[in-house]
Amino acid sequence: MSELTLDAPIDRLKGIGPKRAALLRASGLSTVADLLRLPPHRHATFAAPTPIARLVANVPACIRVRIRRRKGSGRRGVVASRLDVEDASGALAAFVFGPRWLIHQYAIGEEVVLSGEPRLRDGALTFLVRATLHQEELPPEPRAVLRPVYRLPDGLAPRLHRRLLRLACSALARELEAERPAWSAPALGRSASLAELFRWLHFPEDRDEAARARRAFAFAAAVELQTRLLQEKRTRAPRPGGAYSGVERELAAYRAALPFALTSDQERALADAARDLAAPDAMSRLLTGDVGSGKTAVAFFPLLVAARHGRQGALLAPTEILARQHARTLAEVAAALALPPPRLYVAGDHGGERGAPLDAPLIVGTHRLFSTATRFRDLAAVVVDEQHKFGVRQRFRLWSKGERPDLLLVSATPIPRTLALTLFGHLDLSVLAQRPFAERRVVSELLLGEARRGLAARIRAEVEHGGKVFVVCPAIAAGDAEANGRAAAETFAPWLAARLPVPEQLALLHGRMDSETKQARIDDFSAGRLRVLVATVVVEVGIDVPDATLAVVLGADRFGLSQLHQIRGRVGRRAAPAACLLVASDPSEETRARLEAFTATDDGFRLAEMDLELRGPGELLGTLQHGLAAGLYPEALTDATLIAAARDWARMGAESKDRRKSSPNKPFRERTVASSDWIW
């Protein structure tokens, strides 16, 4: 077997079989380097051990002991298992609460550190165990220990994870000692070896050490990101057809073709787009805005300008339902502008691959659009709705089917300004802050614990008063991994239907249905033949059924704030009053506070910022973050000082070849990155 390297696939580590490897890969850890660079989200402290003889009842302490006997209890579920332990000063019985198998983690004769509380029981001192340091984690000398805690996927044991880290560090010791990345200097005052950096990050002596190592890695992540952005800046180029003429006239005609008057934010964003089109350089723009702020009306414009000039505009949407919806809306505007209706290009349609290239001036489609064989006559404008649903490469593949087409990325969730500037710093930015219906009133309410009993009655009342209801469930079927004991759509739907005045007015809508069925259900719901849709979160967040009045989210504790806001955005899309009910069985204090904060604000930008603080950037970034260390170190996206320093560093790096050698990406795999990766 060849030597282990940072780039080696993760299953080269001992103890990782195909099943675990798949689990790890699914959560973004495919190489040894990925494993090492995942930072702990905190460290748990094990105090320096106290001799058993010096324990005081009810005063938390750690003891370093040897296990003499262990005894599990016979019952199922959570049980108390007993460990007889001793140190040089005495012996006692320690109790571990947990599933029955837990006791087998402890080996007879093993030396461990137990953290917990001494308790007096029938006159004897016993020990209630809260956490354990096993033999392999004990320092040679008795002293305080910081143990890293990670956010790991279900099914990956923390103890195994820590073992893998130690294994990787020792197996790679030589390579890690030799590598002294220059980027470590700013945070540490001197450059350190990768061996030191990883040790401090994961298994530090004290919190200060951990903090400084984290700072160093965050800096590296920020430099990596800024380097990419810098790289992109230099690739901007003139539009092959030159500047469009008569863009002002086009804008006036478009305004007249719309069924409503534009908001001033929409006007401003359209003016931005018009300016881009009237300039010689191709458009490279990000449009972000709150849910329901009317992004679509802005997004259509570049497509129409291209079409009116005899060229082609393509709109990419993440789902067929959304694509159909856009095609229908666009058709109305197109007709008013004397253009043919858009060509819908979705799964199963191979017209653009066989024979002649796609010829229609307007094309709306899904993934099919960027499939390798799809060709266009003259693709001049690309608009990507809900851009985070697509990977960098996918967007690039569509974009490269034209000759430097104008590009508009539309985000589904509002992106906080700071984040937009760092992450999309290479794109121009248009923001829709206000909604067309400023008077929108969506009352949000929590139904927790017992209060959930009122749910069916609430939905029934809504239907009886002529309302339309979306119910979002965390999973489709009860057996699905996401269900995890929570309400699944297929279980909830019949239960609810039985409690409605007309059970047939309820239907399911989820990702495992074929698209005709889905479309039929949405149409029935729009037309009022259906009054309740029980859906999963794939409920195409962009769908627009303007007269829906109630959104219900089951298992609301599972969703991020931005996601909840998306769902809430499905109702109250006109000024009519609407409501959003968040249902959860037994949320933790922390979750409850988060959900309460949600009910208190309807501002998507504010909620996105809160998500960023609470859950990191993953949800906001979507597919974009994959492979970028900034996904692991949110500071790289939010900390202005760090970002400014990283930008300077990246600039110097770009200028000096020497600097490149000790590239900041080093622990993050010095992959040879195709130029296409830099485009966005």
Half-sphere exposure of 540 (CA within 13 A, CB side): 27
8 A C-beta contact, residue 552 and residue 472: yes
- Out of 21, 23, 167, 262, point to the residue binding ligand ADP (CB under 6 A): 262
8 A C-beta contact, residue 639 and residue 646: no
| Pick from 507, 567, 510: nearest CA to 541 | 567
- Out of 126, 132, 227, 266, point to the residue binding ligand ADP (CB under 6 A): 266
8 A C-beta contact, residue 64 and residue 53: no
**Smaller CB separation from ligand ADP, 515 or 526:** 526
Q: What is the closest distance, in whole angstroms, from the C-beta atom of residue 538 to Mg ion in the complex? A: 15
Q: What is the closest distance, in whole angstroms, from the C-beta atom of residue 398 to Mg ion in the complex? A: 18
Q: Please tell me whether residue 263 binds ligand ADP under the rule CB under 6 A.
A: yes
β-strands 362-365, 312-316 pairing: parallel
Structure tokens at 574: 């006109």
Q: Please tell me whether residue 576 binds ligand ADP under the rule CB under 6 A.
A: no
By rule CB under 6 A, what string of x and - marks binding of each residue 105-144 to ligand ADP? ----------------------------------------
Among ligand ADP, Mg ion, none, residue 664 binds (CB under 5-8 Å by kind) = none
Among ligand ADP, Mg ion, none, residue 266 binds (CB under 5-8 Å by kind) = ligand ADP
**Smaller CB separation from ligand ADP, 428 or 544:** 544
Q: Please tell me whether residue 318 binds Mg ion under the rule CB under 5 A.
A: no
- Out of 70, 202, 215, 295, point to the residue binding ligand ADP (CB under 6 A): 295
Q: What is the closest distance, in whole angstroms, from the C-beta atom of residue 296 to Mg ion in the complex? A: 6
Half-sphere exposure of 489 (CA within 13 A, CB side): 27
**Smaller CB separation from ligand ADP, 5 or 264:** 264
Structure tokens at 300: 């259509």
8 A C-beta contact, residue 616 and residue 560: no
Q: Which stretch, 106-114, 257-265, 448-456, 642-650, contacts ligand ADP (CB under 6 A)?
A: 257-265
Q: Please tell me whether residue 436 binds ligand ADP under the rule CB under 6 A.
A: yes
Q: Which stretch, 176-184, 507-515, 539-547, 620-628, contacts ligand ADP (CB under 6 A)?
A: 539-547
Kind and range of the H or E run holding 522: helix 515-527
Q: Please tell me whether residue 116 binds Mg ion under the rule CB under 5 A.
A: no
Kind and range of the H or E run holding 400: none
What is the spatial order of strands in the sheet that 532-536 belongs to?
A: 442-448, 578-584, 550-554, 469-473, 532-536, 506-509
Q: What is the closest distance, in whole angstroms, from the C-beta atom of residue 112 to Mg ion in the complex? A: 55
Q: What is the closest distance, in whole angstroms, from the C-beta atom of residue 345 to Mg ion in the complex? A: 19
Q: Please tell me whether residue 260 binds ligand ADP under the rule CB under 6 A.
A: yes
Kind and range of the H or E run holding 336: helix 320-336
- Out of 292, 361, 474, 664, point to the residue binding ligand ADP (CB under 6 A): 292
Q: What is the closest distance, in whole angstroms, from the C-beta atom of residue 326 to ligand ADP in the complex? A: 9
What CA–CA distance (Å, rounded) separates 221 from 12?
A: 25
Among Mg ion, ligand ADP, none, residue 294 binds (CB under 5-8 Å by kind) = ligand ADP
Q: Please tell me whether residue 542 binds Mg ion under the rule CB under 5 A.
A: yes
What CA–CA distance (Å, rounded) separates 40 from 162?
A: 10
C-alpha 562: how far from chain center: 10
Q: Burial-class residue 336 by CB neighbours within 10 Å (0-12, 13-18, 19+).
A: middle
